[in-house]
Amino acid sequence: MSAPFLAEAALLHDELSAVRRDLHMHPEPGFQEFRTARIVAERLDALGYEVQRGVGKTGVVALLQGGQPGERTVLLRFDMDALPIQEENDVPYRSTVPGMMHACGHDAHVAIGIGVATLLARHREQLPGTIKLMFQPAEEGLGGAMAMINDGLLEHPRPDVALGLHVASNYDVGSAVVREGALLAAADHFVIVVRGQGGHGALPDQTVDAVLVAAQLIVALQTIVSRSLNPLEPGVVTVGAVHAGEAHNVIAETAELRGTIRSFSEEARALLHRRIRELAAGVAAAFGATIEVVIHRGVDPTVNAPAPTAVMRRAAAAVLGAEQIDSGFQTTGGEDFSAVLERVPGHFMMLGARSDARTGFPHHSPHFDIDEACLPLGVAILCDAAVRCLNGEHE
């Protein structure tokens, strides 16, 4: 199988690495990607795209009308935001912003996006349809995808299929994950406030100890996944923060628990939410406390549709070789591209970005880095998949 864009993409390696390193040195937090968005918009403008700035605050949308007749529109998505993490890498392109770092690889996504834009513009005359590029702000928990959707991302024209990717430091360069169905989880979070009755640490019988009640609830919450959820269904309930008490001889009146909930189906999600509330009510009743539970719905599961998945698999196999594609991987991480994939069928791929120990640190680690050899591979796969979709292969 030949990979039509691979040779051209390979020639972009140095340029895309330079783009990525520049972005890496100048990371910007969600909804503040002003410099990044300006660079993106200027490059797309120069390539002949019809560019719309300020979509979802700092997002950029760009259209390219192909030279051949065709009614289809293919959306390609790239996120741009960095994270509030102090970079620990000693590299020439180290972050110049204290406490801010591209620790998830979104700098690489922007570079890949510019590479895709470059090659598709170069082949514009042969494209039967419309390319719509989505450069998204604020993927890391702030709802950038939804902000762009609310600003009309999916209208004029409405995409027929949506494609995206994420670099992955747990996969070697030259491999990828192309999975049908749920790839990433729904990610919700909760705040639980336990109210007891404070008092003297030496006179516990005159109090309702919020710390003890919180401790009972923390243990009880661990039974949700182990005893209430179908064992064949993935799920996570994590209490990540506990705040209570100030002094060794005072019984705390309140305790606050914060945590995250991960699930892959609405049924499992509803069960996890319901059991958290039921256990809180039961523990409160048992100990004479009151417990308030607030659950914030976050991103929905990222679900890859069958036909676009088949297209992405063909494109990835053409570039990387079929034996390099993992179809089974699933992760309890979350991703807000799910908001697009709920409205438009499509595929979200994981692209291997590791080549040694230095590039194998987990995402969101202060040591996170990638092997830039993955950049041209991502460009070639997305260009190939986009052209296949313009030709209706995903239908």
- Which residues contact Zn ion (rule: CB under 5 A)? 104
- Find out whether 383 and 9 touch, Cβ atoms under 8 Å: yes
Catalytic, 188? Answer: no
Q: What is the number of the residue whose Cβ is closest to Zn ion? A: 104
319 vs 370 by CB, closer to Zn ion = 370
Q: How far is the CB of 106 from Zn ion (least distance, A)?
A: 6
Q: Which of 139, 160, 300, 384 is catalytic?
A: 139
Catalytic, 336? Answer: no
Q: How far is the CB of 213 from Zn ion (least distance, A)?
A: 34
Task: Classify each residue of 53-86 as buried b or exposed e, where b means 16 or more C-beta atoms within 10 Å of its C-beta.
Answer: bebbbbbbbbbbebeeeeebbbbbbbbbbbbebe
- The radius of gyration computed from the CA coordinates of the chain, to the nearest angstrom, equals 24
17 vs 365 by CB, closer to Zn ion = 365
* Distance between CA atoms of residues 320 and 385, nearest Å: 13
Q: How far is the CB of 309 from Zn ion (least distance, A)?
A: 20
At residue 373's C-alpha, the angle toward residues 369 and 376, to 5°, is: 120
Burial grade of 303 (CB within 10 A; 0-12, 13-18, 19 or more): buried
* Distance between CA atoms of residues 386 and 47, nearest Å: 18
Q: To which residue do tokens 């030259």 refer?
A: 174
104 vs 381 by CB, closer to Zn ion = 104
**DSSP labels, 365-383:** -TT----TTHHHHHHHHHH
135 vs 287 by CB, closer to Zn ion = 135
Q: How far is the CB of 311 from Zn ion (least distance, A)?
A: 23
Q: Which of 28, 81, 160, 384 is catalytic?
A: 81
Catalytic positions: 81, 139
